[in-house]
Amino acid sequence: MNLTIAICDDDRNDATRLEQMLEGIFSDMNDMDLKIDIYETGEGLLHALEKVAYPILFLDMEMPGCDGIGVAEIIRKRDRDMLIFFVTSHSQYMQRSFEVRPFRYLLKPVDKAGLEAAAIKAVEELLQRNNWLEFTYKQTSWQIKSDDIMYVTVERGKKLIIAAKEGICMYYGKIGELEAKLAPHGFCRIHTGYLVNWQYARSVAKDKVALISGVVLPVSRARSGEAILSYHRYLEKRLLK
């Protein structure tokens, strides 16, 4: 599993100590490839989040300028799923932070045993959600939320083209394996070479799916009935939420 974590703390010593502890904890986990980015201001983190996404964030509550809670409020307007760990020296801030749904609180100085237990819970939560598509292309590792993928197509039988909200990316893989991974998240195989995310569908017919972006995807004759049934199931689930 590839995992990218952000730490936001104006105290570089605290941030570095936390980084080192996390590296030690995750180094003991099998198949875990960890990358940690450190930001010293809330503004710097928010600027970075315009281009990258982090499944886990360790956020200092007390920072000059935009404090941790203010940063979290902005993040929650964009991202409901990020696991936010509030790191603080004062427990009285906890009450004020409930509305931004933090995953855990950690009191400074952070205890390694407590951090390890919390980190394991976070990884378990991410695995349970299974909401991130991870792949490597040209020696670069990528993480994309399944919710951000509009559709997937295949080129020459092996190159998967991921059409996401932020743009196009690709990697070599099997569309059947990707179908199995994405099916629980509202995706459907509408054609031998196409997977569609129903949340981006504007209309569905027996021979095509029109997306809200204006893109029209083909529906094969063999998959037409199952595609329409899958779309109706998706709508029913959404209405029941």
Encode pLDDT of 133-186 as tens digits: 888 888 777 888 888 999 999 998 789 999 998 889 999 999 999 998 888 888
Strands (E), the chain: 2-8, 33-39, 56-60, 83-88, 104-107, 132-137, 140-145, 149-155, 159-164, 167-172, 187-191, 194-197, 201-204, 208-211, 216-218
CA-nearest of 91, 87, 111, 100 to 6 is 87
**b or e along 190-203 (b: 16 or more beta carbons within 10 Å of the residue's beta carbon)?**
bbebbbbbbebbee
Query: Which pLDDT belongs to residue 90?
Result: 74
Q: Is the pLDDT at 241 greater than 60, yes or no?
A: no
Q: Is the pLDDT of residue 218 over 60?
A: yes
Distance CA 189, CA 15 (A): 44
Domains of the chain: residue spans and CATH: 2-129 (3.40.50.2300), 147-240 (2.40.50.1020)
Q: Which residues pair with 36 in a beta bridge?
A: 5
Indicate the average pLDDT of the chain.
90
How far apart (Å, rounded) are the C-alpha atoms in residues 130 and 124? 10
User: Tens digits of per-residue pLDDT, 3-61?
Assistant: 899 999 999 999 999 999 999 999 877 667 899 999 999 999 999 999 888 999 999 99
Q: How far apart are CA 88 and CA 42, in angstroms?
A: 15
Nearest to 71 by CA among 6, 130, 117, 4: 6
% pLDDT > 70, the chain: 93
Name every residue whose Cβ is closer than 8 Å to that of residue 67 and which is 6 or more positions away in sequence. Answer: 42, 61
Structure confidence at residue 1 (pLDDT): 65
- Tell the residue number behind the tokens 């902005």, with chain if given: 74
Average confidence (pLDDT) over 181-206: 94
pLDDT of residue 94: 63
Pairing assessment for the beta strands 83-88 and 104-107 based on DSSP bridges: parallel
Q: Tokens representing 3?
A: 């995992």
Average pLDDT over every residue of 196-225:
96
pLDDT at 41: 95
Q: How far is CA 194 from CA 21, 81, 137, 227, in A?
A: 43, 27, 20, 11
Is the pLDDT assigned to residue 91 strictly greater than 70? Answer: no
Its sign, for the CA torsion 124, 45, 99, 14, is positive
β-pair partners for 101: none
Q: What local confidence, expressed as pLDDT, does residue 130 receive? A: 63
> pLDDT digit string (tens) for 94-144?
666 677 889 999 999 999 999 999 999 998 888 767 677 888 888 777 888
